Amino acid sequence: MAIITFGYDRDSIKTGIVHFGVGNFHRAHLEYYLNMLLEDSSQRKWGVFGAMILPSDRKLYDALKKDGGIYDLTTCSPSGEKKVYRIGSLKSVCWGIQEPDIIIDRIASPETKIVSLTITEGGYMVDYDSVGTVFWYMAKGLERRMKTGVPITVLSCDNLQHNGDTARNAFSSYFRARYPEVAVWADENVTYPNSMVDRITPAAESSKITDVVCEDFIQWVIEDKFAAGRPLLENVGVQFTDDIFPYENMKLSLLNASHSLLCYPAYLEGYRKVDAVVSDWRYRSLIKNFMDIDVSPYVPEPDGVNLEEYKLSLLSRFSNKTISDQVARLCSDGIAKLKVYITPTLAKILNDKKDSSRFAFLIASYCKYIMKGKTESGEKIEIFEPHITDEDKKIITAGSYMDFLALSPFKGLGLRNNMHFVAKYELFYSNNVAEGLDMLIKNK
């Protein structure tokens, strides 16, 4: 297969962006857009410096460093068409465990205009005491940057509603607690645009760790609130807006929430690939009813989007066999994901006294996934919950499926006191997944 390679001279590229979280999604999304943009000779100051700060980053860091940050990205359409792009926008990488000062100096450099983030939904939980977190790096970098007086933008690229506001609250809280002078300066000189990002990017299954595989669909909508200039990303398909809420609400409430709804029961039944799950008419019906009945009434249609067409496109994207998305990937970090994707709509459903059956089915499935730790066939589940709290651990260890309703993602919903929800939840918990799906389909 021919590789579509970049046509610009990498030596002519300056570094204007520091990015934390150089994982698959970042390299399939922001880097893909920038790689196209750098073909424009007027945009050659927007190369990326990759800040890799976790101990687990070492293997990928070594591989990227060896290849000078260059890697191959394969996009896959639902029809099976594949294209391979050689990406050169990642100018350099640094492993903070080894050389923290290099990352701090990059943040401080006037050449850096943007610090972007893909640190996952749970990454915005502030650790006030640890050195080497993203909050610590930003504080130390801004402490030095204050001497130059040059403002900067922090751009979240994570799947969070109001991700810029979330970033602002997290960083400001840390700055106020640990670096009060930085907090005062940042209030006046740092902006945090909200953005909506979208591209399904499975965990890599390749002989080369730097290679990335993703779907061909891509979307990025950003508030135009940049403190020190920005790349002309609108020239390569990025949409800028004054109101991000309709776009992020649509994506998180429909795409990400549907992923969470299907993954736990499907994994319990033995499914491992998302396309196989969606080809099962029971799950397709479950997802369609969830989107149409539960979610759509709370999703205002964004400008330029046909909501019905968008929902149909999601089913097509979920069915993409070529990217071979993993159910296990969707199951990971449920503590953080459910709070962001599921709780907001469930709160509205409960407040409006609507049927919450599909939510009860999801939470019962998640409970069995976490607390039993085995599939219905007895296979041990490898659970990945990096953002679980100590209180959550106590609840799970105690083993009460009713106490599970007090887990942190569901706090404030009063689920244990809602007799209608509890009745459905107990029913789904006591039955296997197939029986639960049958009940939901019959009682649409």
SS3 readout for the chain: CCEECCCCCHHHCCEEEEEECCCHHHHHCHHHHHHHHCCCHHHCCCEEEEEECCHHHHHHHHHHHHCCCCEEEEEECCCCCEEEEEECCEEEEEECCCCHHHHHHHHHCCCCCEEEECCCHHHHCCCCCCCCCHHHHHHHHHHHHCCCCCCEEEEECCCCCCHHHHHHHHHHHHHHHHCHHHHHHHHHHEECCCEEEECCCCCCCCCCCCCEEEECCCEEEEECCCCCCCCCHHHHCCEEECCCHHHHHHHHHHHHHHHHHHHHHHHHHCCCEHHHHHHCHHHHHHHHHHHHHHHHHHCCCCCCCCHHHHHHHHHHHHCCCCCCCEHHHHHCCHHHHHHHHCHHHHHHHHHCCCCCHHHHHHHHHHHHHHHHCECCCCCECCCCCCCCCHHHHHHHHHCCCCHHHHCHHHCCCCHHHCHHHHHHHHHHHHCCHHHHHHHHHHCC
Indicate the average pLDDT of the chain: 96
pLDDT score for 283: 98
pLDDT score for 442: 83
pLDDT score for 324: 85
Q: pLDDT tens for residues 247-261?
A: 999 999 999 999 999
pLDDT score for 444: 63
Q: pLDDT tens for residues 94-141?
A: 999 999 999 999 999 999 999 999 999 889 999 999 999 999 999 999
pLDDT band at 426 (very low <50, low <70, confident <90, very high): very high
Q: pLDDT tens for residues 373-418?
A: 999 999 999 999 999 999 999 999 999 999 999 999 999 999 999 9
Residue 1 clears pLDDT 80, i.e. is over it? no
Comparing 93 with 205, the larger pLDDT belongs to: 93
Q: pLDDT tens for residues 11-39?
A: 999 999 999 999 999 999 999 999 999 99
